[in-house]
C-alpha cells in the first residue's frame, strides 16, 4: 500500500475534526463552505452545488448570522487553564525550552496553550521529540557552536495519517507513524506553493528510524537517531495526547457537540433572517374603480408610502396596509439551541441576569471541569515525558518539574475559614504550609512568594517596631 494510506480511524473521525475546526474559526470559514453547512432552500429544483450560485442563495447566506459560540468557548477554557502561569523548574541545560521548545521560536507555555486548544477541538494531538541530524561525530564544543539541541515538534491530528502499535514486553509501543508535512517548493520568492511529504517513523529491531517520502517514493536514506551516549532508541520518542488518555486510539473531541449545535443554530438564523426580510416589511394593497388613464392622471408619480403624499383612489377605492403577525417559531428554535450549548458547556451564553454563587457555578460546570482537568493532566504528563526524552538526547539526568494550573475558578476564602484552619494548625491536624497554599490559591498571597520567603520576612521584623 502507498505511504499516504490513512488509518481506518482517521477516515472515520476526519469529518468531525473538520466541522469543529470550521466552527471554531468562525463565520468567514463556515460561510465559505456554503451548502455544506447551509443547505440550499430550494434544493428540490436545484443541485446543492449549482443552487449555491444563485442570487437568492447568495443573499440568503449573506443575511445569515453565525455567532461563534464554539470558538469563544474554546478561548474561555484555555483561559481558565492558563489563568495562572504554568509552573516549571528546569535545569540550566533545559532552560532554552522556556523560550524555544519547538525549534522555531515557540516557548514551552505557548506550546502548551496551542496543544490544549488542539485537543479541545479534535480530541488529540501529537508531540515528537527530534534532534538535528548531523554527519560524523561531533565534540561538545561543536554541538555548542552549532547550537544543536532537541526540540518538541507538535503535529495536529490531521497530520498523523497512519500509525501502528505492538505489544512489546507487556508494553504497548508505537511501531510505525506516518506524518504529513508541507514543504515550500515555489522558486518565486513571493510564492506560497507547497507540496506534501511524509515523514515515516519506524521502530525496527535495529532501533528507531526516520525516513522522508515524496511523490510516493523514499526521498533520502533511512536514518537512525541516537541518544547522547551514541546508542539507538528502543522506542519512538513521540506521544499522542488525548482528551481521555494518551494512547493511540482517537478520543472524542470535547467541542464537537457544541459545534454541531452551533451550526444548527446558524441554519435557524438564516431562515429567521430571510423570514424577517421577506415578510417583515408592510405591504400596501389597493382597490379602485379608476381606468388606467384616470389612475395615471390622479397619481402621476405612483403610490408612495408616508404621510406627506396624498392619493386619489376614486369613489369606491380603498387602501389597506398589511403586516404579518410575528412568527417566533424559528426564534424559539434558536433560543433552544443556545440553551443546549449552555448545557454542553458553552458558558459564554449563560444568562447573567440572575444571581448565582461561586459554588453554584462550580457545581453547574462540574462536568466541564472534569473534562478540562483530564486534558490538562494528560498534556502535563506528555510534556514531562517529552522533556525526559530531550534529556536523553542531550545526556545527563537532571531533576525538573512542570505543572499546568488545574484551579479553573477562584477559591473563595472567608475569615471564618481562615480562623478554622488556624485552629486546626494549633491542634497539629494541618500545617502552616496548608494554610499558605490555600491563601496563595485564593490570590491573597502573591503566587511568586514561597512559605520560606514569608518566614524570612517575619523573622526580619523587630518585635518593637
End-to-end CA distance of the chain: 82
Residue 435: what pLDDT?
82
CA separation for the pair 22, 25 (Å, rounded): 5
Beta strand pairing call for 217-218 and 207-214: antiparallel
CA separation for the pair 110, 116 (Å, rounded): 10
CA separation for the pair 18, 220 (Å, rounded): 33
**Are 259 and 24 spatial neighbours (Cβ–Cβ below 8 Å)?**
yes
Binned at pLDDT 50, 70 and 90, residue 463 comes out as very low
- pLDDT tens-digit profile of 6-16? 999 999 999 99
Q: Which distant-in-sequence residues (6+ apart) come within 8 Å of 401 by Cβ?
A: 87, 88, 89
Rounded mean pLDDT of 215-228?
Answer: 89
CA separation for the pair 312, 114 (Å, rounded): 70
Q: In terms of C-beta density within 10 A (0-12 exposed, 13-18 middle, 19 or more buried), how is residue 152 classed?
A: buried
Binned at pLDDT 50, 70 and 90, residue 107 comes out as very high
Domain ranges in the chain? Answer: 282-323, 414-465
CA separation for the pair 121, 239 (Å, rounded): 18
CA separation for the pair 23, 2 (Å, rounded): 32
Instruction: Please count the other Cβ atoms lying within 10 Å of the Cβ belonging to residue 356.
Output: 12
Highest mean pLDDT, choosing among 174-178, 183-187, 270-274: 174-178
CA separation for the pair 25, 71 (Å, rounded): 7
Rounded mean pLDDT of 379-402?
Answer: 89
Binned at pLDDT 50, 70 and 90, residue 388 comes out as very high
CA separation for the pair 14, 56 (Å, rounded): 32
CA separation for the pair 343, 210 (Å, rounded): 46
Could you tell me the three cell numbers for 276?
424577517
Amino acid at each position: 500500500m502507498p505511504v499516504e494510506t490513512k488509518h481506518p480511524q482517521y477516515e472515520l473521525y476526519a469529518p468531525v475534526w473538520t466541522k469543529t475546526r470550521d466552527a471554531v474559526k468562525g463565520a468567514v470559514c463556515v460561510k465559505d463552505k456554503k451548502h455544506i453547512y447551509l443547505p440550499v432552500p430550494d434544493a428540490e429544483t436545484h443541485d446543492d452545488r449549482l443552487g449555491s450560485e444563485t442570487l437568492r442563495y447568495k443573499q440568503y447566506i449573506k443575511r445569515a448570522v453565525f455567532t461563534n459560540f464554539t470558538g469563544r468557548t474554546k478561548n474561555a477554557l484555555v483561559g481558565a487553564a492558563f489563568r495562572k502561569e504554568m509552573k516549571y523548574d528546569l535545569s540550566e541545560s533545559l532552560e532554552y525550552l522556556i523560550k524555544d521548545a519547538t525549534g522555531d521560536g515557540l516557548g514551552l507555555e505557548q506550546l502548551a496553550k496551542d496543544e490544549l486548544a488542539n485537543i479541545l477541538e479534535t480530541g488529540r494531538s501529537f508531540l515528537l521529540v527530534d534532534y538535528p541530524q548531523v554527519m560524523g561525530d561531533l565534540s561538545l564544543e561543536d554541538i555548542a557552536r552549532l547550537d544543536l539541541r532537541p526540540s518538541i515538534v507538535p503535529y495536529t491530528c490531521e497530520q498523523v495519517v497512519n500509525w501502528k502499535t505492538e505489544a512489546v514486553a507487556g508494553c504497548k509501543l508505537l511501531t510505525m507513524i506516518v506524518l504529513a508535512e508541507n514543504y515550500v517548493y515555489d522558486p518565486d520568492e513571493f510564492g506560497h506553493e507547497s507540496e506534501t511529504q511524509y515523514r515515516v517513523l519506524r521502530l525496527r529491531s535495529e532501533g528507531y528510524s526516520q525516513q522522508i517520502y515524496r511523490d510516493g517514493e523514499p526521498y533520502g536514506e533511512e536514518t537512525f537517531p541516537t541518544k547522547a551516549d551514541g546508542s539507538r532508541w528502543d522506542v519512538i520518542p513521540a506521544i499522542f495526547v488525548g482528551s481521555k488518555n494518551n494512547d493511540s486510539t482517537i478520543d472524542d473531541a470535547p467541542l464537537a457537540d457544541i459545534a454541531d449545535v452551533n451550526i444548527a443554530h446558524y441554519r435557524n438564523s438564516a431562515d429567521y433572517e430571510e423570514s424577517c426580510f421577506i415578510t417583515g416589511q408592510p405591504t400596501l394593497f389597493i382597490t379602485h374603480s379608476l381606468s388606467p388613464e384616470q389612475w395615471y392622471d390622479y397619481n402621476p408619480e405612483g403610490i408612495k408610502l408616508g404621510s406627506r403624499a396624498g392619493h386619489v383612489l376614486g369613489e369606491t377605492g380603498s387602501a389597506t396596509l398589511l403586516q404579518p403577525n410575528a412568527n417566533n417559531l424559528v426564534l424559539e428554535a434558536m433560543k433552544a439551541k443556545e440553551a443546549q450549548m449552555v448545557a454542553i458547556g458553552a458558558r459564554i451564553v449563560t444568562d447573567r441576569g440572575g444571581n448565582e454563587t461561586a459554588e453554584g457555578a462550580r457545581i453547574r460546570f462540574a462536568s466541564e471541569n472534569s473534562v478540562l482537568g483530564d486534558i490538562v493532566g494528560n498534556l502535563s504528563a506528555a510534556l514531562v515525558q517529552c522533556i525526559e526524552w530531550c534529556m536523553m538526547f542531550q545526556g545527563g539526568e537532571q531533576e525538573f518539574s512542570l505543572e499546568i494550573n488545574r484551579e479553573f475558578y477562584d477559591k473563595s476564602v472567608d475569615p471564618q475559614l481562615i480562623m478554622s484552619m488556624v485552629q486546626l494548625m494549633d491542634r497539629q491536624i494541618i500545617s502552616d504550609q496548608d494554610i499558605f497554599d490555600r491563601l496563595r490559591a485564593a490570590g491573597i498571597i502573591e503566587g511568586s512568594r514561597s512559605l520560606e520567603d514569608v518566614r524570612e520576612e517575619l523573622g526580619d521584623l523587630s518585635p518593637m517596631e
